[in-house]
Amino acid sequence: MKCPKCQSENVSTQVINTVKLKNKHHGLLWWMFVGWYWVPIKWIVFTVPALIFAIFGSKKQKAVNKRKTVCVCQNCGYNWNL
Ligand SMILES: [Zn+2]
């Protein structure tokens, strides 16, 4: 591997693991067909199931692993993504 800046062969690669938390949301269609009547019923009439739903609903977080390989030139310090 060659450095694109100084053409040096003295390049090290390292894998960087970044974790991103992604929130799951209801889509537009869900709100159009279900959400507009389900949410008021849920919160006014079914208070207990709503609380249970809220507890489980808050766990809708997804961990997304993203692997990134970064090359670092040992000669000039230039780094770039592979
Ligand atoms: Zn370089």
Q: List per-residue pLDDT tens for the chain, 82 residues long.
A: 899 999 999 999 888 777 777 767 777 776 777 777 777 777 777 677 777 777 777 666 677 777 888 899 999 999 998 7
CA of 78 to the centre of ligand 1 (A): 5
CA of 7 to the centre of ligand 1 (A): 6
DSSP states along the chain: ---TTT--S-EEEEEEEEEEEEE----HHHIIIIIHHHHHHHHHT-HHHHHHHHHHHTT-EEEEEEEEEEEEETTT--EEE-
CA of 69 to the centre of ligand 1 (A): 17
Q: Is the pTM of this model over 0.75?
A: no
